[in-house]
Amino acid sequence: MNAALAAAAAAAATLLYWMIAADAAGRRQVTIGALPPALPVLAAAAAGASALGGGHAAAIAATAGTAVAAVVDVRTGSIFDPLTFALFAAALALAVMDESLRDAVAGAACAGGGLLLLHALSRGRGLGLGDVKLGFGVGMALGFPSGVTAIALAFIFGGAYGVWLLASKRATAGASIRFGPFIAAGTFAALVTPIGHYA
């Protein structure tokens, strides 16, 4: 996968995902505001770095989709179904084109299935279904074991943030945090560091 092409495609995909999210927000009668200018740049940089490291083409879908989901989650408290469906569908199509479907399906089953189990065990209090659906998309995009690595890193980042909030007295025990940004951070880290690369 050419790094420059991957970066350009990720930037374009970010704009497309934002349009999908904005449409979904409009149907819910909520607003997500303007697209942060840094978002396509971040997605492009992560996709380009993944390509240089030998990552699969579906990294384009993962970086763009999770970046948009993170901002939407922060601004609205939700990750919309059309957005997670678009990420999953794009990752699936790219996995087929890239002949990595077996890894993609395994990644989706493990990453998304693990989050679904946590959602069920917590009765929806610890993890929303939007996060679960995003996890399926990330797993499909990154494959196995990278999809699982991304979700594990998301919990590490989220846990560290929670500890910081408690230590700085910015939150109390039992307070909830929006998990979308940490899934995005875990995804980016899995793509651009050696620990997340798969053969």
Sequential pLDDT tens for the chain (199 residues):
788 888 899 999 999 999 999 999 999 999 999 999 999 999 998 888 888 877 778 888 899 999 999 999 999 999 999 999 999 999 999 889 888 899 999 999 999 999 999 999 988 777 899 999 999 999 999 999 999 999 999 999 998 998 888 888 777 766 678 999 999 999 999 988 765 444 3
Cβ proximity of 80 and 48 under 8 Å: no
Residue 198: what pLDDT? 44
- Is residue 83 packed enough to be buried (19+ CB in 10 Å), middle (13-18) or exposed (0-12)? buried
Which residue intervals of 29-145 are DSSP H helices? Answer: 38-52, 59-76, 81-97, 101-121, 129-142
Domain that holds residue 58: 3-196
| Domains of the chain: total | 1
**Which of the 8 DSSP states describes residue 65?**
H
Gyration radius (Cα) of the chain, Å: 16
Residues in the chain: 199
Cα torsion 49, 55, 60, 64: sign: negative
Number of neighbouring beta carbons within 10 Å of residue 113: 15
Rounded CA gap, 146 and 160, in Å? 21
**Beta carbons within 8 Å of 113's beta carbon, 6+ residues apart:** none
Q: What is the pTM of this model?
A: 0.92
